[in-house]
Copies of this chain bind each other. A is one copy, B any other.
Amino acid sequence: MSITIAMDIGGTHMRAAVFHENENQPSDIKRIRTYVDGKTSVDRLINLIEDVTPQGETIQAIGIAVPGPMDPKKGVILAAPNLKEWTGIPLQATIETHFGVRTRLGNDANMAAVGEWRYGAGQGHHHVIYLTISTGVGGGVICHDQLLLGEQGIGAELGHVTILSDGPMCSCGQRGHIEAISSGTGIANYVAEQLQAGRASSLTGKPDAKAISHAAKQGDALAIEAFNRAGYYLGLGIANYLMIFNPSIVILGGGVSETGDLIMNPIRETVEKSVLSKHFLQNLTITRAALGDNAGLYGALALARDSVTFA
């Protein structure tokens, strides 16, 4: 029998999953640390694939979700802060040559969007916006059943758009991006600033987004305000994406979305108030992601199985 290998490479771990033909549940997933003694290599990735492949099985195709902006036509990572060693190397070609099978690479946020679309919350939709809100804010867009990539394959940077000109500084060095305000980092920065300014709160020091969500659920006013603020700007951003893409579903993944109503309520409220006309809300679903940490793996599976076309 033949199998498909789907991989997700992160700054901390790399995972490889085995999918048998016509099966949407992996028969095995193996995970190793990306770095050992401060080093990583493509050889370790190749070993992981060999390790996860059952004896006697033939690999049909390999799909890999990789961090950072990448060139999906060449299968080369253009920039990955967590994986500097792999920037610019011919990753796709190396693996393709080693195993002698079709290998395709995709940006991890795009692959998570594809995973949710093909196997998760977005099944059956033709126009999908996916946002992952965690340390940063990443995104992916399905536009009439095609993955939006753009001329060089580096589009859909949905977190790095200005929503509040001259707003807070973003990780990328620009100001007022959605990521700068509504990511876990943005939420933590806001609370730290407010605490430093002397605001009363059960929180102290420099709490992270998780601690802030706990405090909010205990009724801490500053913590609740921090999530309302993040949700408000995310809602404005999502309203923008409704105007731009007119999707039928918006899927929210990542740790911040997992706080549930705390972030979803202000998002929904703002979106409803901020659209150009009621048409944009008709038959629109705004929902949380269904596949959790496996969204990228599933996207890599769809990519390997060749059920993704690029726009």
Contacts and interface: CB of A to CB of B under 8 A. Distances in A.
Nearest to A246: B150
Q: Which residue, of A79, A155, A158, A310, has the highest number of chain B Cβ atoms within 10 A?
A: A155
Interface string A140-179: 0101101011111111111011111101000010100000
Interface of A: 69, 78-79, 126-127, 141, 143-144, 146, 148-158, 160-165, 167, 172, 174, 233, 236-237, 239-240, 243-248, 274, 276-277, 279-280, 282-283, 310-311
Q: Considering the complex of A and B, which 6 residue pairs feature the smallest CB-CB distances, nearest first? A: A150-B246, A155-B246, A144-B311, A161-B240, A157-B243, A151-B248
Contacts of A152: 246, 279, 282-283
A164 B164 contact: yes
Given A146-B311, A151-B126, A161 B243 contact: yes
Contacts of A279: 69, 78, 152, 154
Contacts of A155: 243-246
Nearest to A153: B246
Given A243-B155, A245-B155, A276-B174, A233 B165 contact: yes
Contacts of A165: 163-164, 167, 233, 236
Given A69-B279, A143-B143, A154-B280, A244 B246 contact: no
Contacts of A283: 151-152
Given A274-B174, A276-B157, A310-B144, A236 B162 contact: yes
